[in-house]
Amino acid sequence: MSPRAPAVLGVLVAVILALAGQASVAAAQTTTTVTTTVTSGQAPAAGTGSGPLQQVTRAGSTDPNGVEYAPTETEPPAGHRLSAREASRIARQDPKGQRVRRENPGSYYRVFMKGQTRWQMSIYAKGKPLTEIGQVIVDDASGKVTESWDVPYVAWTMARGYDGAFGRSITNPYLWGVLLVLFLLPFVSFRPLRGPPVPILLLAGFSAPLAFFNNARLDWAVPLSFGLLASLFLWSTVRALRRPRSAPRPLLLLVPTSLLLVVGLGLLVFRIVLNVEDGNVIDVGYASVVGADKIGGGMPVYTPFPSNVGRGDTYGPLTYLAYVPFEQLWPWSGKWDDLPAAHAAAIGLDALAAAVLFLVGRAQETVRALGNRRGTLYAYLWLACPFTAYCLNSNSNDALPAIALGLLLLVGARPFARGLAAGAAGAAKIAPFAILPVLATGRRVPPTVPVHHAPPAFWPTRGEDGVREPFGSRLRRGTVSGLLVLLGAGLLVLVVSFIALRGLNFPHLLDRTVGYQAGRPAPFMPWGFPDYDLPGWVRDAVRYVAIAFAVLVALVPRRHDLTGTAALVMAVILGLQMATEYWFYLYLVWLVPLVIAAGIGDRPLRWPGAPAGGHPGVVPRMHGPVPEEDAPWAADVRRREAARTGSGDRRG
């Protein structure tokens, strides 16, 4: 790759941000707002949303998802073929609805007009509060049942597998399959036991539970998702705690750099066009724009949001601040419409994430040409990853913590800088604050293979004379100052965010973010999936274990290089994700930079056409820059190569 690649990349980023502006005239239609109207004064059905009373000029709500009672039970409403009684008779014949009523003695039903073309029979559990446990949808024109749902699908409409609910056409099996092939293609090998690194394969494997989720099969999606999360957690923990004593095996690549560059640029353009023409804005992007609008108007962010995104203030302050420039350029209209600011922000964050990964790879090599190659591979993997495309086409804000974690890999050798990066990740999504302990006990190491890996600076060890040093005696050797610098940098990000949000109340922030998420019941992890019916103490125990892991793992001997840091940070984040009930596939995007760094960050890359023994003797930088650039074994390799070629010991 040409040394001018960074400059070309900068131009491309500028072009991307310019293209993002076209979202204001061509952004895709947003997800339909769910609104409920009940004219009799009875509480609306759970799971169908809530909103202001709508004035309709014909029978039925103008909102296709709004519901209201029919004027009479026996006569078809204006423009309808069925009466409420006829729709009820059809719905009561549905087998799933019958099973729900049979399994819940004392349950009862109500029938509503749903929009202007459908009927909805809602089944309620006996007693108070009003709890909807079943739902049957009847098409008025055909008189047939088109949908039938029980718990948990009644309350969680996002789990019903509606086409295009998340990412629209990006979830088309053929398009997803093409992206998956491109994502794994560089690592394809015809040699036995060679292929994509384990974390890359595990990340790709989440395509299976996502497919089940998109087909309303939580009974398959939940255990598969949890199994893959647990596998990735175990791999990353072992990767972080196991300290290798020999050089890593080179990673063979099938695709040359030039092809990666061409395909990567094609993917970049494709993703932008697809977002503008076909992307939808889910509640996450909508809430981010609303929060940015509040900041621009001088209003407190953590105050009531519009009813169709009532808990939109559950994110960290940096999320809303990051959307302010885009909302100022494309102001919010006050409705959940095309939201061009959300499109522009998603495109800009996606391009920035790819650029950050390029810089991470580029900084890992001591030779500029090799660094450009590695950076190209890292950026390509982001652009080819189907889950990052899923995030982009849903116009979510989950690329923001990924960018912060990517910057952490770039500046991880410096306590203050990695504190800022970790603080940014936490200020965006709160949960990444849990990685501060492992970062606080990390130390600076040579940029090559970790041959001599010591435990944290305050771990009891034996001195040179073999006498065991007292616990904490090594704290005086700079550990306390480094720890305080890192924690201070993390807190600095929060303080600046609070100042920018004008008098933010910290306890209120905790209640709206951590408090809400911690107490949020959801069916996407085993602890909240109703089929498993696990007691609450199991969920609480798992949470305590996840928190204890995040603290204790900071105190054990481990790898302190870039690979070990990425793996351990990933393990801590995965532990927290597995302990929650509300987990979604967009959260995988946070892990993509960590997966790349932990999976291939310490392995020399052998590109197509390179001779078998032609890979560099020195492996990539692990945490640079530092003066020493040769591991002991690598120096021996250099000397042997110099003796064989007679070219001398050349340093990059």
| HEC-encoded secondary structure of 325-378 | HHHHHCCCCCCCCCCHHHHHHHHHHHHHHHHHHHHHHHHCCCCHHHHHHHHHHH
Instruction: Tell me the two tokens of residue 623.
Output: 């945490």
Cα(398)–Cα(427) distance, rounded to whole angstroms? Answer: 13
Cα(333)–Cα(355) distance, rounded to whole angstroms? Answer: 31
Write down which residue in 159, 181, 204 finishes a domain: 159
Cα(424)–Cα(439) distance, rounded to whole angstroms? Answer: 14
Write down which residue in 567, 584, 600 finishes a domain: 600
Go through the chain and tell me how many residues it has. 652
Asked whether residue 433 falls in the same domain as residue 359, the answer is yes
Q: What is the pLDDT of residue 311?
A: 87
Let me know if residue 606 belongs to a domain. Answer: no
Let me know if residue 265 belongs to a domain. Answer: yes
Write down which residue in 133, 159, 185 finishes a domain: 159
Block residue for tokens 């962010």 = 301
Asked whether residue 23 falls in the same domain as residue 92, the answer is no
Let me know if residue 227 belongs to a domain. Answer: yes
Cα(186)–Cα(252) distance, rounded to whole angstroms? Answer: 8
Cα(320)–Cα(256) distance, rounded to whole angstroms? Answer: 40
Asked whether residue 286 falls in the same domain as residue 145, the answer is no
Tell which residue, 383, 438, 405, 388, has the closest CA to residue 560: 438
Cα(179)–Cα(264) distance, rounded to whole angstroms? Answer: 11
Cα(483)–Cα(540) distance, rounded to whole angstroms? Answer: 30
Average pLDDT along the chain, 652 residues, taken 10 residues at a time: 41 42 38 34 39 56 89 92 95 95 94 95 92 95 95 93 91 96 90 82 97 95 97 96 77 92 97 96 95 90 88 90 95 94 97 97 87 95 98 96 95 82 90 89 58 43 42 44 71 75 71 80 92 88 94 86 91 95 96 96 84 55 44 53 55 36
Tell me the CB-side half-sphere exposure of residue 159, using CA atoms within 13 A: 25
Asked whether residue 284 falls in the same domain as residue 332, the answer is yes
Let me know if residue 644 belongs to a domain. Answer: no
Strands 145-150, 132-139: pairing kind = antiparallel
Cα(494)–Cα(500) distance, rounded to whole angstroms? Answer: 10
Domain that residue 349 falls in: 5-29+165-462+470-600
Q: What is the pLDDT of residue 645?
A: 61
Tell which residue, 333, 262, 242, 308, has the closest CA to residue 598: 242
Total domains in the chain come to: 2
Asked whether residue 12 falls in the same domain as residue 146, the answer is no
- Per-state percent for the chain, helix, strand, coil, to nearest 5: 55, 5, 40
Instruction: Tell me the two tokens of residue 56.
Output: 């309709």
Cα(285)–Cα(268) distance, rounded to whole angstroms? Answer: 20
25: exposed, middle or buried (Cβ count in 10 Å: 0-12, 13-18, 19+): exposed
Segment holding 605, helix H or strand E: strand 605-606
Strands 67-68, 132-139: pairing kind = unpaired
Asked whether residue 151 falls in the same domain as residue 256, the answer is no
Tell which residue, 163, 161, 145, has the closest CA to residue 153: 161
Q: What residues form DSSP beta bridges with 137? A: 120, 147
At how many degrees (to 10) do helices 479-500 and 415-429 cross? 40
Instruction: Tell me the two tokens of residue 437.
Output: 């302990």
Let me know if residue 610 belongs to a domain. Answer: no
Asked whether residue 153 falls in the same domain as residue 175, the answer is no
Let me know if residue 480 belongs to a domain. Answer: yes
Asked whether residue 154 falls in the same domain as residue 195, the answer is no
Asked whether residue 131 falls in the same domain as residue 271, the answer is no
Asked whether residue 302 falls in the same domain as residue 437, the answer is yes
Q: What residues form DSSP beta bridges with 606? A: 252
DSSP state of 298: T
For residue 95, say if its preceding peptide bond is cis, omega within 30 degrees of 0. no
DSSP state of 468: B
Integer CA distances (angstroms), 327 to 38, 196, 504, in order:
35, 40, 21
Ramachandran area for residue 634 (φ above 0: left; ψ -120 to 50: alpha; else beta): alpha
pTM listed for this prediction: 0.83
Let me know if residue 424 belongs to a domain. Answer: yes
Tell me the CB-side half-sphere exposure of residue 648, using CA atoms within 13 A: 3
Asked whether residue 91 falls in the same domain as residue 235, the answer is no
Asked whether residue 180 falls in the same domain as residue 299, the answer is yes
What lies within 8 Å, CB to CB, of 612 at 6+ separation is none
Let me know if residue 51 belongs to a domain. Answer: no
Q: Could you give phi then psi for residue 376, rounded to 5 degrees?
A: -60, -40
- Report the CATH number at residue 109: 3.10.450
